[in-house]
A and B are shown apart, each in its own frame.
Chain A
Amino acid sequence: MSLIDPAPAQLTDGGLPAELIAEAAEVGPGVGPYQLAWRRMKRNRVSLAFGVLFLLIVLLCLLAPVYSHDIAHIGPDAENYGTIKVGGKTENIVSLIGIPIGPTWELGHYFLGADENGRDVAVRLLYGGRNSLEIGAVATLITMVLATICGLLAGYFRGLTDGIISRVLDVIWAYPAVLLGIVLGTVLEVHGLGPFHGTTLLSTALVIGFVYIPYVAKPIRAQVLALREREFVDAARQQGLAHVRIMVSEILPNVASTIIVFIPLMLANAILTEAGLTYLGAGVQPPNPSWGTMISQGINNIPAAFSNVLVPGIMLVLAVLSINVFGDGLRDALDPRAKIRLGKDTASVGELSH
């Protein structure tokens, strides 16, 4: 039990772990925090590898039109109930009792099989991935921007501003994320809100982005509350800088690492939530392909073609897993003392996506 003899994590002056002090001595002066983080990141091969895997997935999904046009010669929504030749044999794409063909493993047609409507699963997987990743990215952007603004304003001005913002965040936070997501999703579906209505992908992204604001805004606010008492903020105030200027150019750079650490966490969560909401019928609406719609259609079709659940499911898990592992490495690199911990300040993360 090495635990009781904490050699690697022994504390020295200033409460910094010895290994960090050793590292600081080794790199010498003139190396910024981000350079330092990058050096640590480079040493973490596993998380870099997963980062590359995620980039590959993104690249593949971006190439969806190329695959669809030039290799598979079929669109994501094109239904085909005809026959194809697999290994010299002619087979129905969808059999007479409605069972779709399984993976042919031939890149040209139905590489990963067909769904019950005779659509090419591989083509839909790539187009669906594009939608899922797009929703995830837009939702993350919405969460991060709004949460940063809320956290900065609440932490910097304190008092009444903080009271109002914090209470509003508390109200959002009191709802289980998925339940609030389906309520908002249903509202947008029925009613719409300007450009966000019905079947557009944007409305799903807006819902997901909105639901997660408190989970990010609360830790940012806590950091800003501490930062605003520091000398450099006093100095800026003495120079007569405007509040906005102090927030943007003095405080924001100091919470940047927190924001960066949260981005992959939120991206992974947003992609999972998209799938969850869609599975419940409050997210992406068919026939739009997304990993969520594909999985839920596949589940409705069990046991006829389980590969229709496995293919998008595995892709989804791979994408989310790769972001999570990369994000974990990123956090270790940017925040080696583990100050930022989702779940410590924001309490129940468990409900994020079940």
Chain B
Amino acid sequence: MARFVVRRLLVMVAMLFAISLVTFLLFIVALPNGNPAALIAGRLANPAEVHLITVRYGFNKPIWVQYIKTIANIFGGTAYSYQSYFNVDAEIEAGLPATISLALGAGVIWLLTSILFGTLAAIRAGRYTDRVLTVLSMIGVSMPPFFFGAILIYYAGYKLGLIPLSGYVNITNPAQWLWHLIAPWITLSILFVGIYSRILRSTILDTVNEDFVRTAKAKGLSQGQVLRRHILRNSLVPIISLWGLDLAQVIGGGAILTESVYSLHGVGYLAYQSVSHLDTVTLMSIVMLTALAVVVLGALTEIFYAFLDPRIRLQ
């Protein structure tokens, strides 16, 4: 076990390094001639000013020095946007409440709904309910969130006045907070419900044929008990591990489309705005932090699994 953990952590560290380097290089390439000084100085700057900025920001240093400095800035909380001069880490922090509210609420909704739909579809496999749920999940995975969001905003918000048109209200005002988040939660959940319920349905149908289910039946458990204690408990494992990873990605700005259609000022919205302003420092920080979070969470999940299931350690 200890050997597995050490090896996995070493791979994780190597991945962290590779990802930070790749992200950094991507953005260096993204800047005109690899020198953001011209960008910072603005359109009317003379060469002397550009040179001054180049020297002061250290853009003339070797690339590996710049890399180390960039990483130190991002993790030390001293990275500043070249466009707005705001502290990037503070900006990301300011976006976290909205993003976490969106992610957790939607996460609970999509997990519970897909457990319900997936189980229902599996129990009624091949019948009418199953077909209807299949069609619904197909529509769910085919629906872009910004299109669905636009429909909700126009019909439920603008026409009927049932939901607010956009924006986020801090949780200190719980009623408004809830009211503003209902539509984004539903919008973000739809895709995941489509995917998760399909996966759960097929996992349950696989599990039904396992020996332990036959044993449970043979020892006289009721059908409900077999379903809850033996089938569901085993079938939920893949869903829950997916759920952790997806939640991490959504918190790291993965809900960018939902956040931008509802103007929820979260991390995704920040990323969206930095794209339109070509604000490379902010975008780089978001992308880097998200990718790093995914790697760390992935490693932790794997170690946790190895702890539960000794077979994984030997692979």
The chain A residues found within 8 Å of chain B, CB to CB, are 1-4, 6, 8-11, 167, 170-171, 174-176, 178-180, 182-184, 186-187, 190-191, 268, 272, 275-276, 279-282, 295-296, 298-299, 302-303, 306, 309-310, 313, 316-317, 320-321, 324-325, 328, 338, 341, 343-344, 347-351, 353-354
Q: Enumerate 10 A-B pairs (CB-CB under 8 Å) in ascending A order.
A: A3-B231, A11-B209, A167-B15, A174-B295, A175-B290, A176-B253, A187-B30, A299-B261, A338-B202, A350-B196
**A191/B209 in contact, CB under 8 A:** no
Chain A residues lying within 8 Å of B205, measured Cβ to Cβ, are 9
**B195/A184 in contact, CB under 8 A:** no
Is B123 interfacial (CB-CB < 8 Å)?
yes
Q: Whole-angstrom distance between the alpha carbons of A325 and B134 in the complex? A: 9
**A281/B249 in contact, CB under 8 A:** no
Return the 10 tightest CB-CB contacts between A and B, nearest first: A320-B142, A350-B246, A321-B142, A176-B254, A313-B147, A187-B30, A348-B245, A174-B291, A351-B249, A176-B249
**A299/B257 in contact, CB under 8 A:** no
Chain B residues lying within 8 Å of A3, measured Cβ to Cβ, are 122-123, 125, 204, 208, 223, 227, 231
- Given A179-B254, A186-B278, CB of A354 within 8 Å of CB of B19: no
**A316/B147 in contact, CB under 8 A:** yes
Range, interface on chain B: 35 or more
Q: Whole-angstrom distance between the alpha carbons of A303 and B165 in the complex? A: 11
Identify which of B18, B32, B151, B208 contacts A9 (C-beta below 8 A): B208
Q: Whole-angstrom distance between the alpha carbons of A313 and B283 in the complex? A: 28
Chain B residues lying within 8 Å of A353, measured Cβ to Cβ, are 144, 191
Given contacts A176-B291, A179-B256, A276-B257, 16 further A-B contacts (CB under 8 A): A9-B208, A171-B15, A174-B19, A174-B294, A178-B257, A183-B287, A187-B26, A190-B32, A279-B144, A282-B275, A295-B144, A295-B147, A298-B150, A310-B151, A350-B192, A354-B250
Chain B, residues 137-179, CB within 8 Å of chain A (1/0): the string is 0110111111100110110001000000000000000000000
The chain B residues found within 8 Å of chain A, CB to CB, are 14-15, 18-19, 22-23, 26-27, 29-32, 122-126, 138-139, 141-147, 150-151, 153-154, 158, 188, 191-192, 195-196, 199, 202, 204-206, 208-209, 213, 217, 223, 226-227, 231, 238, 241-242, 245-246, 249-250, 252-258, 260-261, 271-272, 275-276, 278, 283, 286-287, 290-291, 294-295, 298
Chain B residues lying within 8 Å of A11, measured Cβ to Cβ, are 209
Shortest A75–chain B CB gap in Å is: 26
Q: Whole-angstrom distance between the alpha carbons of A167 and B15 in the complex? A: 8
Q: Whole-angstrom distance between the alpha carbons of A95 and B252 in the complex? A: 43
Chain A residues lying within 8 Å of B226, measured Cβ to Cβ, are 4
Chain A residues lying within 8 Å of B27, measured Cβ to Cβ, are 183, 187
**A1/B223 in contact, CB under 8 A:** yes
**A279/B209 in contact, CB under 8 A:** no
- Given A182-B271, A183-B283, A186-B283, CB of A4 within 8 Å of CB of B208: yes
- Given A1-B123, A2-B123, A280-B275, CB of A321 within 8 Å of CB of B209: no
Give the interface centre of A1, A275, A341, A348 by most chain B CB atoms within 10 Å.
A348
Chain A residues lying within 8 Å of B260, measured Cβ to Cβ, are 279-280
- Given A187-B29, A302-B158, A309-B154, CB of A171 within 8 Å of CB of B18: yes
**A354/B142 in contact, CB under 8 A:** no
Chain B residues lying within 8 Å of A176, measured Cβ to Cβ, are 249, 252-254, 290-291, 294
Does more than half of chain A's interface fall in helix, strand or loop, or is it mixed?
helix
Shortest A218–chain B CB gap in Å is: 13
- Given A170-B15, A171-B19, A353-B191, CB of A6 within 8 Å of CB of B245: no
What is the number of contacts between chain A and chain B, taking CB atoms within 8 Å? Answer: 199
**A351/B257 in contact, CB under 8 A:** no
Residue of A at shortest CB range from B124?
Answer: A2
Q: Whole-angstrom distance between the alpha carbons of A4 and B213 in the complex? A: 8
**B202/A341 in contact, CB under 8 A:** yes
**B138/A325 in contact, CB under 8 A:** yes
Chain A residues lying within 8 Å of B250, measured Cβ to Cβ, are 351, 354
Q: Whole-angstrom distance between the alpha carbons of A180 and B238 in the complex? A: 25
Q: Whole-angstrom distance between the alpha carbons of A263 and B189 in the complex? A: 25
- Given A4-B223, A186-B278, A268-B142, CB of A280 within 8 Å of CB of B290: no
Q: Whole-angstrom distance between the alpha carbons of A3 and B139 in the complex? A: 25
Q: Whole-angstrom distance between the alpha carbons of A161 and B276 in the complex? A: 39
Residue of A at shortest CB range from B261?
Answer: A299
**A183/B150 in contact, CB under 8 A:** no
**B246/A299 in contact, CB under 8 A:** no
Identify which of A180, A186, A324 contacts B138 (C-beta below 8 A): A324
**B249/A348 in contact, CB under 8 A:** yes
**B146/A299 in contact, CB under 8 A:** yes
Residue of B at shortest CB range from A312?
Answer: B147
Identify which of B32, B151, B217 contacts A4 (C-beta below 8 A): B217
Q: Whole-angstrom distance between the alpha carbons of A268 and B257 in the complex? A: 17
- Given A11-B209, A174-B19, CB of A350 within 8 Å of CB of B191: yes
Shortest B117–chain A CB gap in Å is: 15
**B142/A317 in contact, CB under 8 A:** yes
Chain B residues lying within 8 Å of A310, measured Cβ to Cβ, are 151
Give the interface centre of B123, B138, B227 by most chain A CB atoms within 10 Å.
B138
Give the interface centre of B122, B256, B261 by most chain A CB atoms within 10 Å.
B256
**A302/B150 in contact, CB under 8 A:** yes
Q: Whole-angstrom distance between the alpha carbons of A162 and B253 in the complex? A: 31
Q: Whole-angstrom distance between the alpha carbons of A123 and B45 in the complex? A: 45
Q: Whole-angstrom distance between the alpha carbons of A325 and B191 in the complex? A: 15
Chain B residues lying within 8 Å of A178, measured Cβ to Cβ, are 254, 256-257
Chain B residues lying within 8 Å of A298, measured Cβ to Cβ, are 150
Chain B residues lying within 8 Å of A351, measured Cβ to Cβ, are 246, 249-250, 254
Shortest B77–chain A CB gap in Å is: 21
Chain A residues lying within 8 Å of B122, measured Cβ to Cβ, are 3
**A349/B138 in contact, CB under 8 A:** no
Chain A residues lying within 8 Å of B192, measured Cβ to Cβ, are 350, 354
Chain B residues lying within 8 Å of A170, measured Cβ to Cβ, are 15
